[in-house]
Chains A and B, each alone.
Chain A
């Protein structure tokens, strides 16, 4: 899977605080107040307290590597239109 450098540069070092999911969506909140929203096909398990190391993405495959734990693996519902990261004030940090 290809590294997503743009998102890795933004997310690297942030610590996952919580994860919530409903039909077709996963929301990951980080300790700095930023929020990553993903439109997904299927489900994902996210470990709170894990620190992001890198992000990889190819087609509909999306993966967040974290320090000292298993990677978070997701299948995107619509590649290119499924990932949105906003900071604690709601400003766009990344879209893809």
Chain B
């Protein structure tokens, strides 16, 4: 009877029944010391930069999971994360890749994304040197979060209903009416009311004129 309860509770929580897979919150520095391309702040701050980087081949991702002793995983459990993010010049070398859990709390892949965006902003606004940002995130991303973003975050594991609603809403509020939302990863921008306005994982609001000046282009040719 007790076993049946264990099985039912485990299934309802989405937990593996017996074999617990590793869920590191920091990478193993021997396996993942971090690695970068030979690029400058000018390169990584150019809209669409990270689209120029090759996608990590599936075979490499599988090797990363093997290295960390993860023998099985399901969709949404882990991200094959670039320790030094692409937006900060990180490379696709296996030395820069590690399996980061979405489920650990409070430190997980979603929280690290916030740090990556913050460091990219600081680098591109000239407030932080690219090498310093790369070293900070590679040496201990949690300490870097506390230094550059703030104190320990509210837990972001499997998002609660409130958090899902927050994620579905615009990431922040435009400072002025009519501003466009620029997707800093793709190099495209979206006008108010369009499908991805304020909704892409990486992006920010700015005037359309500023977006064009910085080299962003309207999504689908119109921004709609």
Contacts A4-B54, A93-B52 given; does A84 touch B93 at CB 8 Å: no
Min CB distance, B186 to chain A, in Å? Answer: 15
B55 at the interface (CB under 8 A from A): yes
B53 at the interface (CB under 8 A from A): yes
A2 at the interface (CB under 8 A from B): yes
30 contacts between A and B (CB under 8 A): A4-B54, A6-B55, A7-B54, A37-B38, A59-B59, A78-B91, A79-B92, A79-B94, A80-B60, A80-B91, A80-B92, A80-B93, A80-B94, A81-B35, A81-B36, A81-B91, A81-B95, A81-B96, A84-B38, A91-B46, A92-B39, A92-B46, A92-B49, A93-B52, A94-B52, A94-B53, A94-B54, A95-B52, A95-B54, A96-B92
CA distance A3 to B96 in the complex (A): 23
Contacts A6-B55, A79-B93 given; does A95 touch B39 at CB 8 Å: yes
Closest A residue to B48 by beta carbon equals: A92
Closest A residue to B51 by beta carbon equals: A6
Interface centre among A37, A92, A96 (most CB of B within 10 A): A92
Question: Would you list the 5 A-B pairs with minimal beta carbon distance, nearest first?
Answer: A96-B54, A80-B92, A81-B91, A81-B93, A80-B93
Scan A40-70; emit 1 where CB is below 8 A from any B CB, else 0.
Answer: 0000000000000000000100000000000
**Chain B residues in the interface with A (C-beta under 8 A):** 35-39, 43, 46, 49, 52-57, 59-60, 91-97
CA distance A93 to B37 in the complex (A): 13
CA distance A93 to B43 in the complex (A): 10
CB neighbours (8 Å) of B60 from chain A are: 79-80
Min CB distance, A56 to chain B, in Å? Answer: 12
CB neighbours (8 Å) of B57 from chain A are: 2
**Additional A-B contacts beyond A80-B94, A91-B46, A92-B46 (18; CB < 8 A):** A2-B57, A4-B54, A6-B55, A78-B91, A78-B93, A80-B54, A80-B56, A80-B60, A80-B93, A81-B36, A81-B96, A84-B38, A92-B39, A92-B49, A93-B52, A95-B53, A96-B54, A96-B92
Category for how many chain A residues contact B? 10 to 19
Closest B residue to A80 by beta carbon equals: B92
CA distance A6 to B52 in the complex (A): 8
CA distance A40 to B176 in the complex (A): 50
Closest B residue to A77 by beta carbon equals: B93
Query: Of B37, B94, B96, which contacts A84 at CB under 8 A?
Result: B37
Asked if B35 and A96 sit within 8 Å, CB to CB, the answer is: no
CB neighbours (8 Å) of A7 from chain B are: 54
CA distance A2 to B93 in the complex (A): 17
CB neighbours (8 Å) of A84 from chain B are: 37-38
Contacts A2-B57, A95-B91 given; does A78 touch B35 at CB 8 Å: yes
Closest A residue to B86 by beta carbon equals: A95
CB neighbours (8 Å) of A37 from chain B are: 38
Interface centre among A79, A81, A84 (most CB of B within 10 A): A81
